[in-house]
Amino acid sequence: MARETDKQTEELAGPRAVWQIVRRRDFGPYFFGNALSASGTWFQNLAAALLIYRLTHSALLLGVLNFSQFIPILVLTPWAGSLADRLDRRKLLFVFQSLAVVLAAGLATLAWGGLASTWVVIGDTLCLGVVSAFSAPAQQALIVSLVRRNEVPTAVALNSMTFNLARALGPAGAALSVHYLGIPASFAVNAGSYGIFIAALLVVRPRRQEKASRAEARVRDSFRLLRQKPELAAFLLIVAIVGFGSDPVNTLSPAFAHAYGRPDTWAGFIVGAFGAGAVTAALVVAGRVAGSRWRMAATLSLLGSGVAAFSVCPWLPLGFALLLVGGFGYLASNTAATTRLQLGVAEQQRGRIMALWSLAFLGLRPFASLLDGAIAKTWSVRAAGVVLATPALAAALAVTASALRQRRDPLRRAAASAASAASSGSLRNPEGR
């Protein structure tokens, strides 16, 4: 019986687990719609970064661009999480994704008219950041209502995979789009991708949502969850560290392309290589995402060492291989921590805990982006990559030390118990008889 159970578990892991959940009527359309929308976002991000870099040749302004994209998440996410627990999450997404269509299409129109100046692009990016701030908690929480509870780990891995599949394919496609179609058309592609995701939202049928009342979904209650369950704070810290470790690849990709002596459009291939490593990790860890402290330490080490080594590597083909390693560690670490967060709270709390996830993963990115740009401007883009990868390596050491303590504690308790038993026996029989 145990062997049969083990066999069933094995069959539900890896690519088989992926296929089983993707073909579901209520998850498949959401998965593909989300993946296409996320890919479209890379068209927007890369086109905006290239436009600003061509206009200014400033690594600092690349940091400002990313700051404008993520600062709304830092400011607005706690209220967005409260809304996601009080209102219908699918309807909430429908409203904000529709607004995103208008913003992306509007920027495309301005760019075609030659009116997309540096600050127009940054302003539009700021508005899309507001949309993202209110969409992210609902989007992350919704996936749980599209699958069975025992499938949540795989769904979380696949949800991360959509963004990293987009990271693998979107930037390369965006680079080709900018080269052959131009920057305005790339903005228009993003507007169309939002429309596809809206269509997917109309098709799926999530389980009935257990909504929180206004009194239950107060913003301060989001942080009360962390006091009640300190382990959630540890997982959020890992999520934040993972976000910092991956930021140089996203923010400074045009500058990295220049450092390697390539045209700025190679930025898409740099980001794509990192995303390919993440997609590989999603296929490997699907159904196996709970993990242990040892595995978390290993995946954080892969992230930190991969990004740091890419940053100092002088040869781009080897750099691509190192990005694959870093991307694998990034996805595996993030998925394990995110799964623990999703399953660690009740349904009516999930919007708020995923708001904190958004705060940790996306809300702190403005500071990572500004730090990236400042270090790149003061020293070099390669130095920026090493500095931002260091926290992941430090976290790997901390998790390793924790795992060692966890292993020693049972041995110490066993030794103490044996010593206590021996002492008790000696007291009962002092002459050894």
Query: Does the pLDDT value for residue 157 go beyond 60?
Result: yes
Give the separation between CA 168 and CA 133, rounded to whole angstroms. 23
Task: Evaluate whether 369 touches 63 at the Cβ level (below 8 Å).
Answer: yes
Residue for token pair 């996830």: 357
Domain 17-203+227-412 of CATH type 3.90.1640.10: no
Give the separation between CA 42 and CA 59, rounded to whole angstroms. 19
Task: Evaluate whether 389 touches 245 at the Cβ level (below 8 Å).
Answer: yes
Residue for token pair 């661009």: 65
Query: Does the pLDDT value for residue 7 go beyond 50?
Result: no
Closest of 341, 348, 388 to residue 368, by C-alpha: 388
CA atoms within 13 A on the CB side of 214: 0
Give the separation between CA 263 and CA 142, rounded to whole angstroms. 40
Give the separation between CA 118 and CA 299, rounded to whole angstroms. 38
Angstrom distances, CA of residue 71 to CA of 66, 67, 273, 297, 360: 8, 6, 26, 29, 12
Query: Does the pLDDT value for residue 9 go beyond 60?
Result: no
Where do the DSSP E strands lie in 252-352? Answer: none
Query: Does the pLDDT value for residue 32 go beyond 60?
Result: yes
Give the separation between CA 387 and CA 174, rounded to whole angstroms. 28
Following DSSP, what letter does each residue of 58-102 receive, concatenated? -HHHHHHHHHHHHHHHHHHHHHHHHHHHHS-HHHHHHHHHHHHHH
The predicted pLDDT at position 140 comes to: 81
Closest of 176, 177, 205 to residue 192, by C-alpha: 177
The predicted pLDDT at position 318 comes to: 96
Q: Which residue has the higher pLDDT, 216 or 60?
A: 60
Q: What is the mean pLDDT of the chain?
A: 81
Q: Please report which confidence band the pLDDT of residue 109 belongs to, taking 50, 70 and 90 as the band edges.
A: very high
Query: Does the pLDDT value for residue 162 go beyond 70?
Result: yes
Residue ranges per structural domain of the chain: 17-203+227-412
Give the separation between CA 182 and CA 201, rounded to whole angstroms. 30
**Range scoring the smallest mean pLDDT among 124-128, 274-278, 341-345:** 341-345
The predicted pLDDT at position 413 comes to: 54
- Determine the average pLDDT of the residues in 184-196: 93
* Residue 228, token pair as written in the block: 């009640």
Cβ density class 358-389: b for 16+ within 10 Å, e for less: bbbbbbbbbbbbbbbbebbbeeebbebbbbbb
Give the separation between CA 196 and CA 94, rounded to whole angstroms. 11
Q: Please report which confidence band the pLDDT of residue 167 belongs to, taking 50, 70 and 90 as the band edges.
A: low
Query: Does the pLDDT value for residue 69 go beyond 80?
Result: yes
The predicted pLDDT at position 83 comes to: 83
**Range scoring the smallest mean pLDDT among 141-155, 247-261, 385-399, 403-417:** 403-417
**Range scoring the smallest mean pLDDT among 39-53, 202-216, 409-423:** 409-423
